[in-house]
């Protein structure tokens, strides 16, 4: 019997530095899933990006996308839960972003499909974002003359890309105004060094809250929870876990919350740990 749920972050954790799942990890995960492994992922990525990275895997549980803004089915993309930013603050946040001479990408759900709206591309970091989604034929992309036209949708994430000094000041300004109603993450894009992202979500959109909801919905609250991560947006997830594993390349801050530190994401460390733990659980004790 499987008494454990395994939940992993993607970029920098389960995936290699090339943002792919290694052949070893994919093959081994598929074997374990066929044996009944309870595994899913919790990431800042969208389900579109997850489908590319996890192509061929059939997960038994919904995935957590956009840091908990969505709990969704990986195969169909259907959202089971949506935690959107409260509509009455979206326009003010947008105006505040504009006052810092920044232009955001806006991710939403319009009632039938996911959308990623954009307007002016003002720097290399934003160009990388757009090019990456065009390369993967992301059908969410929508060019809008007026980004405010997107506000009729459920806005789940606002992404600003710029240099860290601008991003830092903007984050402070947003928290001064709406700190108790939003959740933000500020980080460097490891695939586009030198460009920093500020992502803004509802205060309800955290990996930890999404995982707790997942456990309750699927009757899994009594099972042991093992999680894997590499960045500060995994801290709350680490706090609720029975066992929290940070990869060697994780931030210093996240490692403070880890039960153990395992090898880096480049060494298939997440899947190797799961495989070993699963094997130990399913090895019958020898009869004396």
pLDDT of residue 287 exceeding 50: no
The structural domains of the chain, ordered by start, are 4-82+206-281 (3.40.50.1000), 87-202 (3.30.1240.10)
- pLDDT over 70, % of the chain: 98
- What average pLDDT does range 73-98 have in this prediction? 96
Q: What is the pLDDT of residues 205-253, one digit of tens each?
A: 999 999 999 999 999 999 999 999 999 999 999 999 999 999 999 999 9
pLDDT of residue 115 exceeding 70: yes
- What average pLDDT does range 127-132 have in this prediction? 97
With beta carbons less than 8 A apart as the criterion, state whether 86 and 225 touch: no
- pLDDT over 90, % of the chain: 94
The predicted pLDDT at position 2 comes to 82
The predicted pLDDT at position 3 comes to 92
* Residues in a beta bridge with 283: none
The predicted pLDDT at position 213 comes to 95
The predicted pLDDT at position 286 comes to 46
The DSSP code sequence of the chain is ---EEEEE-IIIIIS-TTSS--HHHHHHHHHHHHTT-EEEEB-SS-HHHHHHHTTT---SS-EEEGGGTEEE-TTT--EEEE-PPPHHHHHHHHHHHHHTT---EEEEE-SSSEEEEE----SHHHHHHHHHHHHTT-TTEEE-SSGGGGGGSEEEEEEEEE-HHHHHHHHHHHHHHHTTTEEEEEEE-TTSTT-EEEEEEETT--HHHHHHHHHHHTT-TTSEEEEEE-SGGGHHHHHH-SEEEEETTS-HHHHTT-SEEE--GGGTHHHHHHHHHHHHHTSPPPP-
Q: What is the pLDDT of residues 138-153, one digit of tens each?
A: 999 999 999 999 999 9
Q: What is the pLDDT of residues 16-41, one digit of tens each?
A: 999 999 999 999 999 999 999 999 99
The predicted pLDDT at position 288 comes to 41
pLDDT band at 283 (very low <50, low <70, confident <90, very high): confident
The predicted pLDDT at position 285 comes to 57
The predicted pLDDT at position 190 comes to 86
pLDDT of residue 284 exceeding 70: no
């Amino acid at each position: 019997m499987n008494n454990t749920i395994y939940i992993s972050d993607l970029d920098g954790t389960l995936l290699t530095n090339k943002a792919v799942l290694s052949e070893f990890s994919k093959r081994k995960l598929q074997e374990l899933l066929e044996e009944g492994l309870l595994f899913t992922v919790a990431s800042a990525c969208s389900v579109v990006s997850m489908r590319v990275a996890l192509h061929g895997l059939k997960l038994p549980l919904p995935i957590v996308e956009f840091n908990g803004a969505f709990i969704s089915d990986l195969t169909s993309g259907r959202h089971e839960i949506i935690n959107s930013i409260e509509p009455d603050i979206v326009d003010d946040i947008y105006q505040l972003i504009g006052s810092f001479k920044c232009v955001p990408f806006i991710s939403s759900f319009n009632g039938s499909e996911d959308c990623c709206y954009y307007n002016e591309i003002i720097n290399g970091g934003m160009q990388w974002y757009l090019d990456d989604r065009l390369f993967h034929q992301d059908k969410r992309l929508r060019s809008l003359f007026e980004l405010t036209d997107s506000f009729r949708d459920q806005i789940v994430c606002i992404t600003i890309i710029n240099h860290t000094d601008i991003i830092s000041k903007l984050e402070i300004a947003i928290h001064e105004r709406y700190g108790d109603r939003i959740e933000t993450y500020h980080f460097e894009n490891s695939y586009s060094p030198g460009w920093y992202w500020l992502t803004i979500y509802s205060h309800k959109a955290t990996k930890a809250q999404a995982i707790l909801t997942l456990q309750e919905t699927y009757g899994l609250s009594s099972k042991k929870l093992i999680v894997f991560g590499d960045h500060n947006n995994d801290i709350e997830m680490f706090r609720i876990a029975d066992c929290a594993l940070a990869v060697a390349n994780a931030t210093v801050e996240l490692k403070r919350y880890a039960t153990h530190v395992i090898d880096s994401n480049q060494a298939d460390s997440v899947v190797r740990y799961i495989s070993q733990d699963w094997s130990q659980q399913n090895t019958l004790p020898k009869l004396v």
